[in-house]
Structure 1
Amino acid sequence: MIRTFAFDVGETLVRDDRYWASWADWLNTPRHTLSALVGAVVARGQDNAEALRLLQPGIDLRAAYQAREEAGRDEYLDESDVYEDVRPALAALREAGARVIIAGNQTVKAAALLRALKLPADLVATSGEWNVAKPSHGFFERLVVEAGTPADEILYVGDHPQNDVFPARAVGLRTAHLRRGPWGYLWADTPTVVDSADHRIDSLMQLVPLAAR
């Protein structure tokens, strides 16, 4: 039985378009160029931050985040960033009696922005708040504690195999791989994902029958 549904954030609940566009503008680079570089590092299996390092070798990402914040050009989210199936799916899961948690690799500020969206969730938390990030097993162990249910009664939903599916499974959670965003589409049919994910979905609404069981 699945009692808790936990969700990754970027390209699972919200689009990353604004995030990468803002970085391209900050680095004075055409948005298409950075988008293509993100795709390239994804195909290589690298962390997406490598796209920024390709554009600006030696970049200090922490300092760049700080500079953007001081310039008033840091993180921002609004309803237009939320995928269309998110609110109805999360609401339906809660109506079915499941606990809904949003937990991903985001900053402390991103956590506040997510809470301001008032999505149908029982808990919103980020790696910045927990001081541990995916794919560390510690992130998922903290999630189990916050959920208050055994690991095998939690389904973690995400688009990124190496950050979501594989480490969550290693900690004993059930997993759902979402075909969405560059990571979701690129790795969806690879044998390791097919073998590791308990569920492979194209829409969050496909989760609702699992809660009804």
Structure 2
Amino acid sequence: METIVFDIGETLVRDDRYWASWANWLGVPPHTLSALVGAAVTQGRDSADALRILRPGMDVREASLARAAAGRGEHLDETDLYPDVRPALAELRALGVRVVVAGNGTVRAGELLRALDLPADLVVTSDEWGVTKPDPAFFARVLEVSGAAPERTLYVGDHPADDLFPAKSSGLRAAHVRRGAYGHWWADHPDVVETADWRVDALTELPALVVEARDSTPVGRLRTGPSSA
């Protein structure tokens, strides 16, 4: 792999704060909203449907703007990162891999992520690009910034429908990470098992897989970690 591109939510960043802040805004216990998010995930629905169950007809984007106007908008700091993020990204860069962070998120999320000074060559969000996963145009932009051929570019994410399947359909290689609600629930689904080039339980597994792929001629279809069956 020459370039590895990372999703954001539940790949690099925990969603705990995100959902807790929504629960607070809606005036419901956090565990109530978490249960509804889990239900949406198991049904293969958008996790934001959990908000619409509590507030039918809610325009989530408009509600997000209202939260920001009230001084209760997005927040992100070091504690929101998964502990393997910095060591994994730093090791990949030491191996000469171009590291890109590109996932669904607001302009503000992009600003907050860049302020964390991650060991990455580029950090960008969907709102900054004006296109959202799983739109193929998003992955076309990924390839534009990759600087590598599709087969030498790996997209890493937790969400099958937003990350894994569209990345593969766009010609990239893809790794599914068992992390977060989508990552855990769908990890062993036959379509995920069949589609993913790699399946991992931690980002720190990636550097060794990069080395293994470089040593393989041709690069083989690899599986690793406890997620592999």
* TMscore range, shorter length: over 0.9
Q: Deviations over 1:92-145 (max 9, x none)?
A: 000000000000000000000000011100000110001111111110010000
Q: 2:132 maps to which residue? A: 133
Q: Report what 2:9 is aligned to.
A: 10
2:58 aligned with 1:59? yes
Aligned-pair distance for 1:59? 1.0
CA distance in 2, matches of 1:83, 1:62: 26
Over the matched positions of the two proteins, sequence identity in percent amounts to 60
Matching of residues 36-185 of structure 1 within 5 Å:
36-185=35-184
Give the total of aligned pairs.
Answer: 212
CA distance in 1, matches of 2:19, 2:121: 28
DSSP-derived class of the 1:163 partner: helix
Q: Secondary structure at the match of 1:92?
A: helix
Gaps of 5+ in 2: 215-229
Tell me how far apart the structure 2 counterparts of residues 192 and 63 of structure 1 sit (CA, whole Å): 35
Whole-angstrom CA distance in 2 between matches of 1:139 and 1:28: 35
Q: How does 1:192-211 map to 2 (within 5 A)?
A: 192-211=191-210
Contact 2:3 2:147 in 1 (8 A): no
Whether contact under 8 Å (2:100, 2:123) holds in the other structure is yes
Where in structure 1 are there 5+ consecutive unaligned residues? none
DSSP 3-state at the match of 1:175: strand
* Whole-angstrom CA distance in 2 between matches of 1:167 and 1:178: 15
| CA positional deviation for 1:67 | 1.0
Q: TM-score, normalised by structure 1?
A: 0.98
Q: Which runs of 4+ in 1 moved over 4 A?
A: none
TM-score, normalised relative to structure 2:
0.91
User: Offset at 1:89?
Assistant: 0.3
Residue 9 of structure 1 aligns to a residue whose secondary structure is: coil
Q: What is the alpha-carbon distance in structure 1 between the residues aligned to residue 61 and residue 201 of structure 2?
A: 34
**SS of structure 2 residue aligned to 1:155:** strand
Aligned Cα root-mean-square deviation (Å): 0.7
1:25-48: per-residue Cα shift (whole Å, max 9, x none)?
000011000000000000110111
SS at match of 1:58: coil
Q: Deviations over 1:49-82 (max 9, x none)?
A: 1010001001122221111011110100000000
